[in-house]
Structure 1
């Protein structure tokens, strides 16, 4: 019994020693996570706190203190000055149209490149990769001249076309590598059953790759929503501007104060936050689908 007790005690001591080392690493990782969370949450805290302050309250208590009482002056002022519902609708229209069109075009291109095995597949994928590396500043003048000549300047359709091409280039590059590893047995079985290329795409490839397409749809929507330079350049009139452009233009006003700026930032974040929360489960499933399979 004593020998057994010693063996068990020795194992327990070794286990405690191992757990002590793991706990040290765990505490370090937890500290890093907490620091990262604070750095991420701090800007949101400043935006939320200062959005509900009056200019006098901000001047006396500073940006870090909680408001003495809730003041909605900044939110109301920004809402009325820029016609915020119209700006939200413009952003939803542009971002939603770009996300859907870019995903469809990416899927069709990737199906032809990754599964159809067109000639020069490697060079085509490389071309799409180079297209993603081009800075937007290099595209402004030729695109401005082109849309000005065809009468689409200051039209939301011009921004939709530009971002659809940009996002579809990235989506094609990503999906081409995914479809290049698609199981050939599944495609051959569908072909033997008499399915055409179109039927293989919509009845076989699309259902299997739906999680990946859902992730692309969400990212395309958020990326397009946050775009600033191209909408600022091609949407000159106030009625066509998006939320980021409206916020930036309003910040240049001499009558702008910190509380109204914070309110504009808060109202600009809320729609994308709601969109992310609605599709959070879809995003999680899409990211983990490949790992589970």
Structure 2
């Protein structure tokens, strides 16, 4: 007697559209996060707003009505005083030259060091990378006297070149640590294929590694420029002549022991901050693309 087996009914659950309440919750959460980000951004812009407010206020108006009052008139003498007394064009050129040179050289040195450590597999690379990490953690106050002494010995004291060399080494320590970690995960098959095709290490670096690291290098370039632009302690010690000083050092010269012209200081801070803001706005898209590319990789 033949027995017929009937296949058991199998019910498959098809994923349905997300519940309406879940969509509302996610939408509400996004708006809450966006609102918190907007509040934080406004809080960060408050000091900048006060600086703009007091940059166009006369000293009498500032002392009478305080820093929170609206200017009674459009006062521009503070800007003119800072421009004239600080010799702002010279300080702007010095800061731009030092920050730009450090950014380019530090990125180049970081790339070469990281290529040797991350791909070349130098003996003891873990210890070397750890040494670079410790160098990043060392405070600048501990470096001031040795740097001052060495600059005096080699005749580079009170020159822009001394500051460029110092910050190139400091910034490249961070860049080497970061890029060495990135290059340690670089696809080995790609490098082996290039070596089989007869490419040397120099060609591998500039034809294969460099194009893949271009977004990361662009981010480092922007960071190195802004970090060097804002440096104060080492330029204050190493640059004593008005013709070699940078913008942060020029701002510090406006403040005396017992007297400070607040409107002039705010005006100087405003026009000293503008170049860095303009630089950031110009390369904002590059920064965003670099971070996004690094996240995707």
Same fold (TM over 0.5): yes
The residue number in structure 1 matching 2:269 is 265
- Please tell me whether the aligned partners of residues 55 and 267 of structure 2 are also in contact (alpha carbons under 8 angstroms): yes
The residue number in structure 2 matching 1:95 is 99
Q: Return structure 1 stretches of 4+ with deviation > 3 angstroms.
A: 17-28, 253-256
Higher helix share: 1
* Cα distance change, pair 94–48 in 1 and its aligned pair in 2 (3 A): same
Q: Deviations over 1:7-58 (max 9, x none)?
A: xxxx99x62x445544554454344223312220101100111111112232
Q: Deviations over 1:218-248 (max 9, x none)?
A: 1000000000000000101111110001001
**RMSD, matched Cα:** 1.8
The residue number in structure 2 matching 1:111 is 115
- Find the residue that maps to 1:240 and give its secondary structure: coil
Counterpart of 2:246 (choices 242, 262, 276) is 242
Give the TM-score normalised by structure 2. Answer: 0.89
- Find the residue that maps to 2:74 and give its secondary structure: coil
The residue number in structure 1 matching 2:86 is 82
Give the Å deviation of 1:176: 0.1
Counterpart of 2:128 (choices 120, 124, 128) is 124
The residue number in structure 1 matching 2:289 is 285
| 1:203 pairs with 2:203 | no
Give the Å deviation of 1:189: 1.6
Q: Whole-Å Cα distance in 2 between the matches of residues 20 and 201 of structure 1?
A: 50
Counterpart of 2:220 (choices 211, 216, 222) is 216
> Between Structure 1 and Structure 2, whose CA radius of gyration is higher?
2
| 1:69 pairs with 2:49 | no
Number of matched residues? 281
Q: Deviations over 1:92-117 (max 9, x none)?
A: 11111111111000000000000011
Give the alignment of 1:16-55 within 5 angstroms: 17-19=21-23, 21-22=25-26, 25-55=29-59
Q: Whole-Å Cα distance in 2 between the matches of residues 180 and 136 of structure 1?
A: 29
- Find the residue that maps to 2:143 and give its secondary structure: helix
- Find the residue that maps to 2:53 and give its secondary structure: helix
| 1:172 pairs with 2:176 | yes
Give the Å deviation of 1:192: 1.5
- Find the residue that maps to 2:254 and give its secondary structure: helix
Q: Whole-Å Cα distance in 1 between the matches of residues 159 and 204 of structure 2?
A: 37
